[in-house]
Every structure is written in structure tokens, then in C-alpha cells.
Structure 1
């Protein structure tokens, strides 16, 4: 791995994402693209009403341009070209395109909320259909450019699962993207957790010499850090579904690029817990009429228990770091 190229990618993503905010935030203010805070959330979140949303555009642009810069740095270095095998190239380019596809869905959702003044954005069936389309296109492309039917099981190895691979991966892609989207509910939470997750992927990619995935992970980590300049509590901008769905697509792309989607259970442990808390809460209310948590997803439960937003971000990021450590150990 060319560490200069990796460093260029990481630093460029941070600088681009943070500097874009200098222009983007006033622009969003000017357009009145402010977040509408629903009544179902914690009452004190009402003070965030009007905070600009769609800020995810910062790290979308920053991570893509930074990854291109890192690629070029390696390509023109004395160490030679990045491995241009069809598999590596597909998982890098195809991964970014998939993440962009989900980002576009999120943008449409945000646009409808803030411009059309429909608080719930896209209808559930519209969002689900669009997500399904993006995921199916990605899997078809993978079948063409990087055929795979192997499922990696931690501590056990790889096993061929035939055509069952595709419905299982479809479930993982859509589930993971929506899980990351659920995590975006506290200042700095989704960006911080995803930054730590990206660093975990970066370490694993380096260990396994997956140059393209190392670049993608570095771009994602740097982009999230640059966004946190503006999004850490008290947030001056929110990423919106534009950002959270792009992040979900990137996390999925990294797991698939390493050919180990199951790593998401460890590296994405916070995403999993957030989703399960929501499912458990809804199921409990429907079946018993009682709540298991004070509020779901679980980050709101801890808010209702008196945790500050900063404490939630720190603890959830630490849990993600632990999950990354377990993921690394599972490969040994």
C-alpha cells in the first residue's frame, strides 16, 4: 500500500469536506433548507428547528474528489499503478456509484421535506422501491464484473451458498443503509460512528492489501471528520437523508469490496443495535401496548435517561471501535 496516497486521500477528504461547509451552510440558509423537527422526537430537539439540512453534500463531494486524488497520487508514484483488476476497480467505482444512488434517494427525500413541506418526505413504498432498484443494479453489476457466491463466516472461513447469495446480499444492503439512516438522530452521531467504522475498514483493507478499499475507507473517514467540524454538538448543519443514505451505501460498499459483508455485524454493531431497538419497540407496542425503551431508536432512549448528546456520541463511537477490534481479530 502506498501510504502517501492513503494520507493524501485522508487529508484531502477532511479539508474538502470542511471547507465546502464554509460555502454550503450559508447557501442552505439562503435557500431556507432548514430541518423540520417532528413532535415525536425529544422535546428539547425543537431548538434545532431550522438548522440547515442536506449537509451530507460536503462529504459526498469531499470523499469522491479525495479518493480520485489518492488514486492519482499512487498511479503516478514510483511504486506504480494501483491494481487495475476488474474486481478491485468494480468495488471502488461500483461502490461509489451505489452510495451515490442511495444519496440521490436521500436527496429527493430531503427535498420533498424542506421544499415541498411534506414532513415525511418520500412515501414508504417510493423509498423502498428506489432502494431496491439501486441494490439490484449493484448486485447485477457485481455478477458481471466480480462474480461471487461465497459467504465469509467469522472464525470459520468462506462457504459457497450458490444463488442464495443474491437475496441474502439484497437484504444486507438495504438493511444496512436504513440502519445507518436510523443512527442519524443526535448531533455528530452518524458521522462519528461511521468515521470510526471507516477506520476499521481501512485497517482491515491494509492488512489484506486491498488498495482500492483502503482508499475508499480513507476518503470516508476523512470526509466524516471534515463534516464533524460543522456537525458536532451544537450542530450548525445536519447531513439529512442525503448524507446518511450515502454513508450507508459507503459502509456497504466497503464490506462488499472486502468480500466480507458479515463484517457489518461487528464494525456496524451500533447500526445493528439502533435498528433492533426500533424493531423491538414497534413490535412490543403492537403486541402488548407497552414500550421497552423510553424512545426508539436507542440513542433517544439514552437521551431520555439524561445522557448528553456528546456522551452518546463518545460511547457509541467507543462501542464501534470495540466492534472494529473484534472484526480484525475474526480475520486472524
Structure 2
């Protein structure tokens, strides 16, 4: 087994570092859930898994789906799976979760009464939603403590918001995820002694997706849907920029490069720790904004959301995330319009 990150041009570690931290985090989540189930069964705890009356979700199936996702990530850590195989593994895990009843099936109509029902589209929509979150966290995992810290901040605000809305199961899963990521950060913050690997980043992304879907099923409002997207705006925007960049340069979307947000911060001279702390602070501000959104109603929610997304996009723009794309675009136009050879007649100028 060679689940080790060796130093390279794209990596910041100066020595080999093991990358199976995702297994440890998965075990932490499993232990917490086992304790909850045993407490409900033997100690009479009020809970969701033994004596709960809501059977719309097969919780065992959700856990199986998460296990598949962790195993796919672990296999990639050891064997470096082909992108297509890795993607199919993510889809399989997400499909198992969707088939277990955890679905984005409806949402309250933000423009009127009643609900918007998604019908059979709920299944592919849920799979797409989960796979997107997996890859968003996977792509931002480029500096010591970055992905774990962002997930910890996101899970903290998800807990606060879920607790305030009485979404008890969502709050419990959020606090479990917070505990696991904080414990892992003890060893993952720079200089890291262990990396989470794809087994960890895919798990964290899937957990954020599962927690938010759980919240939407218990309270199908736009704000519950929007909160995790706002909190994760930084990795989402960074991922979007990467896709645009690679499409413009005619590169495979899954091809790795050194033009992500954390690479830009390093090139500006901030260093690993300071770069990570900057993103932590930025994510915390987005979390506060998401909490404000959860406490307001009507058009104010959309105004706050639009302002935060626009501000995040502007910061990414200023950091130069889109520079390569813009230079490629405008250079192409400049070449077409100004740099074409000019002919002035038979004998030239």
C-alpha cells in the first residue's frame, strides 16, 4: 500500500506524508452514530434511528452509500483510479443514498404558495447535488488543514441554523461532523502529519450534502437549501473557475493544475498557514451571512445571498483566479482584430 503524498511541484509538503486520514474520520463518524443508536436502544434516549416515527429515510442505506464513497476515495488514494472510474464510484455512492429515501424531492415555492415538486427528477438531481459537493471539497483540498477547516466552519453554522429551526437530526449530524473535523485538524493543520486523501475529502463533501438534504426534507424551504451553498461559496466558486479555465484551454475538466485559490494565495507570498487562515476568515463571514439569511424573510434573503456571492466572486477576481481565462480570451480577440497581417498592395508598404 502506497497511500502517501510525495513532494512535487503541485504540493506544498517537503517530505512524504500519509494520506489515509479519511478512514479515521469515517470511523469517528461511525462510532458517534453507533453510540447514538445504542443510547436510543438501551438507555431510552429520544432519537431517530430506533424509535423514530419517520421511516421515509433508510438510514442504514445512507450509511452504506457513505461507506461506498469512502472506499472509492481510499482506492484512489492507493491506486490512483482513472477519473472516469472514480466518478462512477461517486455516482454509485450518491445513488445508494438517493435510493435510501434521502431526496431533494420538493421545495417551498419562493414566489407563491405551495411547493415545487421534482417528481422522478428528484433522483438524478440528488445524485448530481451530492457528487457536486464531493468534488467541490475534493478540489479545495490543496493546503494543510484547508478542506477540514472549511468543513468544520460549515458544519458549525449548519448546526447553529439547524438547532435554531428545531431540525434535531440535522443538528446532530452537523455537530458530529464538526467534532470529527476538529479532531482531525489537530494533526492536519500546517505542518500536517497526515492528509485526508480523497477518502476524506469525498466523505466530507458527501456529509455536507447529506446534512443539507436532511434539513431540506425536514424543512423544505429555499433558505435551508441556500445555506450550505452560501457557506461553501469559496470552494464552489474556485471549482467553477477551474472548470471554466480548463474548458477555455481545451483541457480535461479533471486535469489537475496549480491555479486554484490556495495556489494564488501562496504566489502572493502569504505562506501556507496565513493562506489557510484567510480562507477560514472568509468562510466564517459567509457563515455569518448564511445565519443572517436564516433569520430573515422575503426578498432580504435573496439580497443577502446575492451580495455575499458577488463579494466572493469579486475577491476571486482580484486574486487573479480568472486571469488566465481573460488573457486567453482577450488575446484571442486582439489577435483576430489587430494582429492579423496587413497587405498594402502588390509591393507592400
| Both structures adopt the same fold (TM-score exceeding 0.5) | yes
> What does residue range 221-300 of structure 1 map to in structure 2 within 5 Å?
221-259=178-216, 260-286=224-250, 295-300=258-263
Mapped pair 1:205 → 2:190: no
Per the alignment, residue 93 of structure 2 pairs with 134
Task: Report the Cα distance in structure 1 between the residues aligned to 2:98 and 2:32, rounded to whole angstroms.
Answer: 26
Per mean C-alpha deviation after superposition, the further-off stretch among 57-66 and 245-254 is 57-66
Tell me, in whole angstroms, the C-alpha distance in 2 between the residues paired with 1:154 and 1:325: 22
SS at match of 1:286: coil
Q: Map 1:163-242 to 2 at 5 A.
A: 163-242=120-199
Alignment check: 8 A CA contact 1:91 1:257 kept: no
Provide the rounded CA distance (Å) in 2 between the counterparts of 1:307 and 1:162: 48
Distance of aligned partners of 1:97 and 1:173 in 2 relative to their CA distance in 1, 3 Å threshold: same
Q: Distance in 2 between matches of 1:211 and 1:104?
A: 29
Shift of 1:134: 1.5
Structure-1 residue corresponding to 2:75: 108
RMSD of aligned Cα (Å): 2.8
TM-score after normalising by structure 1: 0.75
Give the Cα–Cα distance (whole angstroms) in 2 for the partners of residues 296 and 124 of structure 1.
19
Structure 1: gaps (5+ residues): 1-30, 113-120, 288-293
> How far did residue 273 of structure 1 move?
1.8
**Is the 2:20–2:197 contact (alpha carbons within 8 Å) kept by the matching residues of 1?**
yes
Offset at residue 127 of structure 1 (A): 0.9
Of structures 1 and 2, the one scoring higher in RCO (CA 8 A, sep 6+) is 1
Normalising by structure 2, we get a TM-score of: 0.71
- CA shift at 1:96, angstroms? 3.6
Q: Is 1:68 matched with 2:34?
A: yes
Aligned-pair CA distance for 1:72: 4.4
- Structure with the higher helix share, 1 or 2: 1
Q: Who wins on radius of gyration, i.e. which is larger?
A: 2
**Residue 58 of structure 2 contacts residue 100 of structure 2 at CA under 8 Å; is this kept in 1?**
no
1:62, distance to aligned residue in structure 2 (A)? 1.4
**Is contact 2:103–2:213 with CA below 8 Å preserved after alignment?**
no
> What is the Cα deviation at residue 100 of structure 1?
2.2
Residues 96 and 253 of structure 1 are in contact (CA less than 8 Å); yes or no, is this contact kept in structure 2?
Answer: no
Question: Which runs of no fewer than 5 residues in structure 2 stay unpaired?
Answer: 217-223, 252-256, 296-349
